[in-house]
Amino acid sequence: MLELGTTSLVIVGVIAVVGALSLVVAVVLRRQVLAAPEGTDSMKEIALAVQEGASAYLSRQFRTLAIFVVVVFGLLFVLPGDASIRVGRSVAFVVGAGFSAAIGYLGMWLATRANLRVAAAAMHPGARTEGARIAFRTGGVVGLSVVGLGLLGASGVVLLYRGDAPAVLEGFGFGAALLAMFMRVGGGIFTKAADVGADLVGKVEQGIPEDDPRNAATIADNVGDNVGDCAGMAADLFESYAVMLVAALILGKATLGEQGLVFPLIVTAAGAFVALLGIATTRVRGTESGLRAIYRGFYVSALLGAVLAAVAAFAYLPATFAESPGTADLSDVTSDPRVVASLAVLIGVVLAGIILWVTGYFTGTTSKPTLHVAATSRTGAATVILSGIGVGFESAVYTAGIIAAAICGVFLLAGGSVWLSLFLVALAGCGLLTTVGVIVAMDTFGPVSDNAQGIAEMSGDVDAEGAQVLTDLDAVGNTTKAITKGIAIATAVLAATALFGSYADAVETALRDVTDAATTGIVTSMLSFAIISPVTLVGVILGAATVFLFSGLAIDAVTRAAGAIVFEVRRQFREHPGIMTYEERPDYGRVVDICTRDSLRELATPGLLAAFAPIAVGFGLGVGPLAGFLAGAIGSGVLMAVFLANSGGSWDNAKKIIEDGAYGGKGSAAHEAVVIGDTVGDPFKDTAGPAINPLIKVMNLVAVLVAPAVVAMSVPNDANHTLRIAIAVVAAGIAFGAIVASRLRAARVDAASLEEEPAAAARRPRDT
């Protein structure tokens, strides 16, 4: 086992202290947010309903997910390896899952209280400055908590397990990623079912505003923003933080030994100072655009992250690779480890900045692509949808190309060494994640501003000037949400690429213990990574297909849940005509219950597919095809995720442009067209797209965990062959069984909706 020297142990201990101090600062910022005025009694009543709905949903979701955590905790014990490692990995899995859940709950809890305070700020002078400050600092609390818990978890494992820490941290990252994926899918289904139902019945059929209190889905819509965007995204970025550290520590140990194991922790610890600077410098000045202030805070903090990483590299890393005791052979690499590590981190920081700009260009309210989508509303919903799809496809190519260029740059830095380049990719990811505190703050800004606008509109206590301020902040929030999704996608690709290297390391280690594995042609093909091998190409196709299937399942789940909301809201309008005249109060709780029930029922299918598909491919076809499976998932995943996120973002902000008065404004035919486009984009940008990020990392981590067992069972004897095939069949059966169950559930929903259709058809407006 690799031992850590006194200096390294002291550094890791200091990093743990930095993590703890990050949590202390988060508590201080939380008090500042909660100290802001809460507004009128009607605002408080609406906010309380949102708080209760969000808390009830997450509590039920966590009870459901606890079953998965217990099952996986037991399964991790079955994997081969040293007993102490298995125990540590299983416990770390629970800790990672618990931290991910805690971050998600914290994001929801504070956002559902900050939204009220942002709405109240709109009632007073300086609304733009104060509202933006509260919204951004709310995200800052969550961002610092992500940094703090991530550093505490990783440094704690390193202090306990020293050189064996990477193997134990696999469980930590897996727990964080699995919980984040479930929270992303479940929260995404909840929020978009409510949003689509509210828009289709409220805006299109009844002609009332988005957050009109007469719409029974408004409270559920505001609840969904918090359980989807706040809780889901916070958990997603935490697992990105954890998974990137796992990959970096595994590859760092192989390339630079002790110093490679500790240096990624130092880089990510710099993120605590970066987050503080970003939060402090993000202030809206006078009539300045909120987006400009956020950009300024991000770029200033990103520059600090790159500088701190370079200082750490020259202070801690060796001057040559020959001085490093890593297991990888880097004797031919003549470059300075301090220089290449600093440049790799810089590439990650620059990558984040470029993606921020590109995503803002394709989704911002003042940019040409979104203005074009808004202009197509003059010819109907079909052209709005087509133009948004075009924006999504085009932006996906540019974003993927930028990420590919960053990876190529890292490869050139490594002088062609594959192992070193993989480690540098992981460092680039760590560099990107030095800004994670600011990224989380940017993302939380969106739903808090959106909720604040909803509370203000439902209460009727904010004047026209204040309402316009909240509308502007909401539009900024739409862009920041799209930007953070783009950065999260880049992080996912870098993490998955680094995990790809971790997978190869796990396979090579296992192969050294199996001397007679390659005695037949079939077994040789199963163990070969050559892309020209037909069976490896099959793995590539299956990996890409899994991303498409996962996305389809997520969007279909939103479709079914949204259909139930549409029927319920229509029913309330039909059976209680006093709702439209304000004589009756809608049953908000009924819609929240439907969203909760349907989202929890639907989240299992995509999750089971993600967990068991790589197991089926690995045990059924071998580690070579499983490598192809991961490559296919990464390649198709980055394109699909960017396409879904940016097309949805452009539709959302095109709606904002029309609602601000363009092409006839609210209530016009153009407005109806962009509302339809926005409802199509809702499950794109807030359910399927973001969930792809944890999906590809979950599948990579599952592959890393099962790789030694797959190699061991590839030894050609009848007992191994039978057991291997049996495991593959069971895994495939679970994955496809979940899909079949989902299809049967859809058929039942369709059959039930037939009873509602005659009444629904009678209520639809007819052409005259």
* pLDDT above 90: residue 391: yes
CB 234 within 8 A of CB 440: yes
Is 108 within the bounds of a domain?
yes
Structure confidence at residue 523 (pLDDT):
53
Give the position of tokens 């507004």: 39
Is 164 within the bounds of a domain?
yes
What is the percent of the chain with per-residue pLDDT over 90, rounded to a whole number?
21
If one compares 159 and 415, the residue with the highest pLDDT of the two is 159
Lowest mean pLDDT segment, chosen from 98-112, 561-575, 705-719: 705-719
CB 195 within 8 A of CB 451: no
If one compares 677 and 532, the residue with the highest pLDDT of the two is 677
Mean pLDDT of the chain: 84
Query: Which band of pLDDT confidence, cut at 50, 70 and 90, is reported for residue 121?
Result: confident
CB 326 within 8 A of CB 255: yes
Structure confidence at residue 378 (pLDDT):
93
Distance of alpha carbon 727 from the chain centroid: 30
Give the position of tokens 């964080």: 176
Give the position of tokens 């990876």: 407
Helix axes of 381-413 and 368-375: crossing angle, nearest 10 degrees: 160
Structure confidence at residue 375 (pLDDT):
94
pLDDT digits (tens, 9 = 90+) for 624-658: 889 899 999 999 999 999 999 899 989 988 988 99
Is 768 within the bounds of a domain?
no
Lowest mean pLDDT segment, chosen from 35-44, 54-63, 374-383, 528-537: 528-537
Closest CA to 569 of 223, 224, 218: 218
Structure confidence at residue 377 (pLDDT):
93
pLDDT digits (tens, 9 = 90+) for 239-283: 888 888 888 888 888 788 888 888 999 998 988 888 888 888 877
Structure confidence at residue 324 (pLDDT):
61
* pLDDT above 60: residue 753: no
DSSP classification of residue 326 = -
Is 568 within the bounds of a domain?
yes
* pLDDT above 60: residue 720: yes
pLDDT digits (tens, 9 = 90+) for 154-196: 899 989 888 788 888 888 988 988 888 888 888 888 888 888 8
Q: What phi and psi, each to the nearest 5 degrees, are found at residue 434?
A: -65, -20
What's the rounded Cα separation, in Å, for the pair 447 and 101?
19
Q: Which of 196-200, 279-283, 732-736 ranks highest by mean pLDDT?
A: 732-736
- DSSP string of 538-593, one letter each residue: HHHHHHHHHHHHHHHHHHHHHHHHHHHHHHHHHHHHHH-GGGTTTSS---HHHHHH
What's the rounded Cα separation, in Å, for the pair 498 and 421?
9
What's the rounded Cα separation, in Å, for the pair 155 and 172?
12
> Average of pLDDT values for 208-237?
81
Structure confidence at residue 386 (pLDDT):
95
* pLDDT above 70: residue 46: yes
pLDDT digits (tens, 9 = 90+) for 425-455: 989 988 888 888 888 888 888 888 888 888 8
Structure confidence at residue 190 (pLDDT):
85
DSSP classification of residue 610 = H
What's the rounded Cα separation, in Å, for the pair 644 and 488?
13
Is 277 within the bounds of a domain?
yes
This prediction's pTM: 0.83
Q: What phi and psi, each to the nearest 5 degrees, are found at residue 330?
A: -115, 25
* pLDDT above 90: residue 746: no
Structure confidence at residue 765 (pLDDT):
44
Check the CA dihedral 654-658-664-668 and report its sign. Answer: positive
pLDDT digits (tens, 9 = 90+) for 441-491: 888 888 888 888 888 888 888 888 888 888 888 878 777 777 777 778 888
> Average of pLDDT values for 572-599?
87
3-state SS of 344-410? HHHHHHHHHHHHHHHHHHHHCCCCHHHHHHHHHHHHCHHHHHHHHHHHHHHHHHHHHHHHHHHHHHH
| Cα–Cα distances in angstroms (integers) from residue 522 to residues 528, 575, 684, in the given order | 10, 67, 41
Give the position of tokens 């947010």: 33
Count of domains for the chain: 1
Is 746 within the bounds of a domain?
yes
* Residue 432 structural domain: 6-282+293-763
CB neighbours of 296 closer than 8 A, spacing ≥ 6? Answer: 281, 282
Q: What phi and psi, each to the nearest 5 degrees, are found at residue 189?
A: -65, -45
Is 150 within the bounds of a domain?
yes
Both tokens of 613, joined, read 């598909």
Structure confidence at residue 767 (pLDDT):
40
Query: Which band of pLDDT confidence, cut at 50, 70 and 90, is reported for residue 382?
Result: very high
If one compares 78 and 111, the residue with the highest pLDDT of the two is 111
SS3 172: helix
| Cα–Cα distances in angstroms (integers) from residue 255 to residues 74, 244, 259, 417, in the given order | 32, 16, 9, 10
Lowest mean pLDDT segment, chosen from 154-163, 554-563, 672-681, 736-745: 736-745
SS3 616: helix
If one compares 508 and 297, the residue with the highest pLDDT of the two is 297
What's the rounded Cα separation, in Å, for the pair 413 and 425?
10
Structure confidence at residue 374 (pLDDT):
94
Query: Which band of pLDDT confidence, cut at 50, 70 and 90, is reported for residue 385?
Result: very high
Is 422 within the bounds of a domain?
yes
If one compares 10 and 511, the residue with the highest pLDDT of the two is 10
